[in-house]
Structure 1
């Protein structure tokens, strides 16, 4: 449960403090997930952004869903 809360807080903070839309959030999300948390490596996060880009919907919502799914399965993706 702690990891789910950590996912929520991280994406909430990124969404609340970043201006400029989804594409402006990509470097911030990458810094949080790769450098600070160490959840993904650079190649995994680039693949995540690529999948999020061609999936219908907002890129940041798709990225959050994909990261949550990779970390905690279906419940993390929700």
Structure 2
């Protein structure tokens, strides 16, 4: 079951969507002492997926830059 697809609001109008199933770092079965490392794994996975996209958008807009997510 995909909880987020069932609980997130629908966006009206024409659009594209992309869904990545990522585990809930604070979800059932995740011990409290493991949550920080679980959040960091999700952050790192999102960084791998999003940073190249953000850099492409910035290059397309004529901005040469390297985008880095902040450490938590």
Higher relative contact order (CA 8 A, sep 6+): 1
TM-score range (shorter-chain normalised) is 0.3 to 0.5
> Rg bigger for which structure?
2
TM-score of the aligned structures, taking structure 1 as reference length: 0.32
TM-score (norm 2): 0.34
Determine which structure has the larger helix proportion and give its number: 1
